[in-house]
């Protein structure tokens, strides 16, 4: 923003002090008409630049729940405890490994044991709890065990998620039900378990992993798209409740929207062939995890768009343009099956 004001001021000085004919270098004189055109372009370009900067600042202010300053001094990473659902493999495991590198203790909730990629040193800061997160009772039991073993967590990363690859008519209802239980309903249970302690301490960070499917629904993955757009509503509503029901904007909330990432979902035959057809470049799980952990360490709220920056703006486009975007993705998910 400061650089925009400097440039605007410079343009005003130029406008007031410039001679009738402006020389560029030693050999390119500008006529009065060209000079006026240059000033007009400069004025509007700088105005647009300043407006963009101001908009970015307002966006960051809003994301931070109208708090001007982000104070990370209250976080002592060697004393913090993070809960990561689906943290045994994939993006979740990468997140755990990177959190541990800061000395953060991690409690992993998963139905499968920790992968062999964890070193002995990392495992000293990681505690695995076998937990089926489709069950609120199982989540409560795991939360009680975490509080007893480690203490009250200050970080909750709702990472667990699965995908199905079937049309609305073909998918068994039990598959839809399980996907909703894992991808979104479990987050109601985890937040119910861990938010009260965060409120008592006025410190915490709750992160949800969504997808660019939050903004574009995919044929053959309607249930998945529904849960990811639902997570965006969950994130927005949670932020509102923290500000106006609990009077605790200090608790950070983040939602992550990765583009297609190397994972069990993208490796599934129902998806892999479609991604190759459109020439999609997959993100690495480590890079997605890196952005997530960076947000945690910065103690900032917000939305992380790990893909085309225009993605959240798609819903603001004319309907015919929205439909063209959806059409371009119509055969990415083309098959049947589930990753969970």
pLDDT in tens, 165-176: 899 999 999 999
Please give the pLDDT value at position 17.
47
- CATH classification code of 79-328: 3.40.50.720
Please give the pLDDT value at position 249.
95
Answer whether residue 227 shows pLDDT above 90.
yes
224 part of the active site? yes
Token pair of 63, please?
């994301």
Answer whether residue 183 shows pLDDT above 50.
yes
Answer whether residue 144 shows pLDDT above 80.
yes
Residues in the chain: 340
Token pair of 325, please?
């975007």
Condensed to tens digits (0 to 9), the pLDDT of residues 272-310 reads 888 988 888 999 999 999 999 999 999 999 999 999 999
Q: Which residues are CB-neighbours of 167 under 8 A, at least 6 positions away?
A: 219, 220, 222
Condensed to tens digits (0 to 9), the pLDDT of residues 85-115 reads 999 999 999 999 999 999 999 999 999 999 9
Q: Which of 97, 203, 228, 252 is catalytic?
A: 228
Separation CA 101–CA 239 (nearest Å): 29
Please give the pLDDT value at position 20.
46
102 part of the active site? no
| pLDDT, mean over the chain | 89
Please give the pLDDT value at position 59.
79
Q: Which of 97, 129, 224, 252 is catalytic?
A: 224
Please give the pLDDT value at position 29.
65
Radius of gyration, alpha carbons of the chain: 24
Q: Provide the residue ranges of all domains of the chain, joining segments of one domain with +.
A: 2-16+31-63, 79-328
Please give the pLDDT value at position 6.
54
Axis-axis angle for helices 285-298, 90-100 (nearest 10): 40
Answer whether residue 43 shows pLDDT above 90.
no
Token pair of 187, please?
């987050």
Assessment of whether the complete model's pTM goes beyond 0.75: yes
Percent of the chain topping pLDDT 70: 90
Please give the pLDDT value at position 168.
96
Comparison of pLDDT for 55 and 29, the residue scoring more: 55
Condensed to tens digits (0 to 9), the pLDDT of residues 82-93 reads 999 999 999 999
Answer whether residue 323 shows pLDDT above 90.
yes
Please give the pLDDT value at position 171.
95
What mean pLDDT do residues 226-235 have? 98
């Amino acid at each position: 923003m400061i650089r925009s004001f400097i440039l605007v001021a410079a343009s005003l000085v130029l406008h007031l002090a410039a001679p009738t004919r402006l020389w560029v270098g030693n050999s390119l004189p500008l006529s009065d008409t060209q000079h006026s055109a240059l000033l007009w372009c400069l004025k509007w370009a700088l105005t647009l630049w300043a407006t963009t900067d101001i908009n970015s600042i307002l966006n960051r202010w809003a994301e931070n729940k109208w708090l001007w300053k982000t104070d990370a001094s209250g976080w002592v990473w060697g004393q913090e405890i993070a809960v990561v659902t689906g943290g045994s493999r994939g993006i979740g495991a990468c997140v755990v490994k990177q959190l541990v590198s800061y000395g953060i203790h991690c409690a992993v909730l998963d139905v499968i044991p920790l992968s062999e990629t964890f070193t002995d040193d990392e495992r000293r800061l990681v505690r695995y709890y076998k937990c089926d997160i489709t069950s609120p009772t199982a989540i409560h039991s795991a939360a009680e065990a975490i509080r007893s073993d480690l203490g009250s967590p200050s970080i909750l990363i709702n990472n667990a998620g699965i995908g199905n690859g079937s049309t609305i008519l073909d998918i068994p209802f039990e598959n839809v039900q399980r996907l909703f239980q894992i991808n979104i309903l479990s987050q109601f249970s985890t937040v119910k378990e861990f938010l009260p302690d965060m409120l008592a301490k006025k410190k915490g960070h709750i992160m949800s992993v969504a997808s660019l499917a939050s903004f574009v629904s995919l044929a053959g993955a309607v249930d998945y798209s529904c849960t990811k757009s639902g997570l965006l509503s969950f994130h927005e509503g949670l932020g509102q409740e923290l500000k106006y029901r609990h009077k605790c904007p200090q608790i950070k909330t983040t939602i992550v929207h990765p583009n297609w990432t190397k994972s069990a979902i993208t490796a599934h035959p129902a998806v892999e062939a479609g991604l190759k057809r459109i020439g999609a470049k997959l993100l690495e799980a480590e890079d997605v995890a890196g952005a997530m952990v960076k947000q945690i360490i910065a103690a900032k709220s917000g939305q992380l768009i790990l893909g085309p920056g225009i993605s959240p703006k798609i819903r603001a486009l004319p309907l015919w343009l929205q439909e063209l975007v959806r059409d371009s993705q119509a055969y990415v998910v083309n098959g049947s099956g589930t990753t969970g």
